[in-house]
Chain A
Amino acid sequence: TAGITQAPTSQILAAGRSMTLRCTQDMRHNAMYWYRQDLGLGLRLIHYSNTAGTTGKGEVPDGYSVSRANTDDFPLTLASAVPSQTSVYFCASSDSASGADTQYFGPGTRLTVL
Chain B
Amino acid sequence: GDSVTQMEGPVTLSEEAFLTINCTYTATGYPSLFWYVQYPGEGLQLLLKATKADDKGSNKGFEATYRKETTSFHLEKGSVQVSDSAVYFCALRDGAQKLVFGQGTRLTINP
Contacts and interface: CB of A to CB of B under 8 A. Distances in A.
A101 B32 contact: yes
Interface in A46-101: 48, 50, 58, 90, 92, 96, 101
Nearest to A31: B97
Interface residues of A, number: 23
Interface residues on B, range: 20 to 34
A42 to B, nearest CB: 4
A92 B97 CA distance: 14
Contacts, number: 47
B49 A101 contact: yes
A20 interface: no
Contacts of B45: 105
B15 to A, nearest CB: 26
Contacts of A102: 34, 46, 49
Interface of A: 4, 31, 33, 40-45, 48, 50, 58, 90, 92, 96, 101-108
Nearest to A4: B43
Contacts of B34: 102
A54 to B, nearest CB: 13
Given A42-B104, A58-B98, A105-B45, 20 more contacts: A31-B97, A33-B98, A33-B99, A42-B4, A42-B89, A42-B102, A42-B103, A43-B44, A43-B101, A44-B101, A50-B97, A90-B44, A96-B97, A101-B32, A101-B49, A101-B97, A105-B36, A105-B43, A105-B44, A107-B43
